[in-house]
Amino acid sequence: MEITVVDVPERGRFEIRDDDRVVGFATYHVDGELMTLPHTEVDPTMGGRGLGTTLVTGVLTSARERHLHVLPYCSFIRKYLLDHPGDLDLVTEADRPTFGLVTADS
């Protein structure tokens, strides 16, 4: 089992793959310096293996490498950001209250 996260821009999504099998995805749209993240999904038969976290890590790493800010409309990505405050800088301070991402450190 080789897990990879792949950007598939023609489909507007990142895919997480187990070898060649797509087992999940995160949809996105880039407009200027913003990456909108509306939905993340992992095959329920693959649950409990941390694939959602691996997928979101890959998406946010790509956003950071591309110098983009994110709009985390997806609840799973918002939860990830709350659990990983080191990535919270990817959401502008002005947008954090919109997504319930105001923390004691903010």
CATH topology for 3-97 is Aminopeptidase (3.40.630)
CB neighbour list of residue 101: distance below 8 Å, 6 or more residues apart:
72, 78, 81, 82, 88, 91, 95
Q: Summarize pLDDT for 22-35 with one digit per residue, the tens.
A: 999 999 999 999 99
Global pTM? 0.92
Say if CB 2 and CB 19 are below 8 A apart. yes
The packing angle between helices 75-83 and 51-65, to 10°, is 80
Q: In the prediction, which pLDDT does 105 show?
A: 54
Residue 24 has a pLDDT of 97
Query: What is the 8-class DSSP label of residue 35?
Result: E
pLDDT computed for residue 73 by the predictor: 98
| The pLDDT value given to residue 1 | 76
pLDDT at 106: 46
Query: For the segment 50-105, what is each residue's pLDDT rounded down to a tens digit?
Result: 999 999 999 999 999 999 999 999 999 999 999 999 999 999 999 999 999 986 55
